[in-house]
Amino acid sequence: MSAAVTLATMRRILAQLRHDHRTLALLIVVPALLMVLLRYVFDQPMVFDRIGPMLLGLFPFTVMFVVTSVATLRERTSGTLERLMTMPLGKLDLLLGYALAFGLVALVQVGVVLVISLTWLGLDLSGSLGSLVLVSLLDALLGMALGLFASAFARTEFQAVQFMPAFVLPQTLLCGLIIPRDDMASWLNAVSDVLPLSYAVEGMQEISARPDFTATLTLDVAVIAAFTVVALVLGAVTLRRRTV
């Protein structure tokens, strides 16, 4: 573990993104565009105030999941991962490098969506801006950590991309975004209790409805953070120095 190597890894990943203008533009523009669409599809400020923040949690999560799972898979298939594994680079250096780089990207992404939502789209937020940024950033890191872990099970980029519907869509259905979790059948409710995205959405609901940092929100933040750490550790386990 070395801070210098972690930071070098972060800079390297950011440099890769900087050369890829189209990906960068998609990362920033798509969530903002979806938010604008959402506002005018519902066309009722009340509904937008309720759903908008939940999507602010969902976008960074989904985007980071896809981007990270493909990026890590490329690192594996191009041989750069094997090369790094022969060098004095700790597995955590690599994982934290990814976390920092994509965390920064997520910060910009959420920032742009927020500015547009709070000004042009007239989103009305009860909670603090700080807690909103905190939860969306955590959601982004969660998506990144799960993407890293999931990529270990993909042999090709086709498979990696398919993991998005496999890992993310069921969670989207069950997280309380479409139907409140309390209204679901009890077994579905139980399943949603162990899915991280449920807590991400619940956290966003708390922020949009209540002015202070509630106990529920604290629990949500803790659960998301715990899921992220566990996924990162599992991701580290899948990085092998020696292979067949």
Partner 1 sequence: MMSSSPASGAVQPGPRPAVSVRDLRVVRGGREVLHGLTFDVPRGSILGLVGPSGCGKSTLIRALVGVQIVKGGTVTVLGAPAGSAGLRRRVGYATQSPAVYADLTVTENLRYFASVLRAPRSDVERVIDEVGLGRSRDQIAATLSGGQLSRVNLAVALLGAPELIVLDEPTVGLDPVLRQELWELFRELADRGAALVVSSHVMDEAGRTDRLLLMREGDILADGTPDELRSRTGATDLEEAFLHLITEKAGSPT
| 82 touching partner 1, by CB under 8 A | yes
Using CB under 8 A, pick the residue from 11, 34, 172, 209 that binds partner 1. Answer: 11
Nearer to partner 1, 3 or 215 (CB): 3
Nearer to partner 1, 194 or 244 (CB): 244
| 86 touching partner 1, by CB under 8 A | yes
Q: Give the binding range for partner 1 (CB under 8 A) out of 14-22, 33-41, 192-200, 229-237.
A: 14-22
Of the candidates 208, 228, 218, 209, the one whose C-alpha atom is nearest the C-alpha of residue 114 is: 208
Minimum distance, C-beta of residue 97 to partner 1, in the bound complex (Å): 10
Using CB under 8 A, pick the residue from 58, 70, 84, 114 that binds partner 1. Answer: 84
d(C-alpha 186, C-alpha 176), whole Å: 13
Q: Give the binding range for partner 1 (CB under 8 A) out of 57-65, 85-93, 105-113, 177-185.
A: 85-93
| 8 touching partner 1, by CB under 8 A | yes
d(C-alpha 229, C-alpha 142), whole Å: 8
Q: How deeply is 198 buried, as exposed, middle or buried, from its count of CB atoms within 10 A (0-12, 13-18, 19+)? A: buried
* 71 contacts: CB under 8 Å, gap ≥ 6: 13, 98
Of the candidates 202, 149, 148, 205, the one whose C-alpha atom is nearest the C-alpha of residue 171 is: 202
Site for partner 1 in 19-58 (CB under 8 A): 19-20
Give 79's DSSP letter: S
Of the candidates 124, 126, 137, 127, the one whose C-alpha atom is nearest the C-alpha of residue 56 is: 137
Minimum distance, C-beta of residue 9 to partner 1, in the bound complex (Å): 8
Minimum distance, C-beta of residue 2 to partner 1, in the bound complex (Å): 8
Using CB under 8 A, pick the residue from 44, 78, 156, 218 that binds partner 1. Answer: 78
d(C-alpha 116, C-alpha 122), whole Å: 8
Nearer to partner 1, 88 or 183 (CB): 88
| 9 touching partner 1, by CB under 8 A | yes
Pure H helices in 78-214: 80-85, 91-118, 129-151, 157-163, 169-174, 186-193, 196-209
Give 183's DSSP letter: G
Residues near partner 1 (CB under 8 A) are: 4-5, 8-9, 11-12, 15-16, 19-20, 78-80, 82-89, 241-244
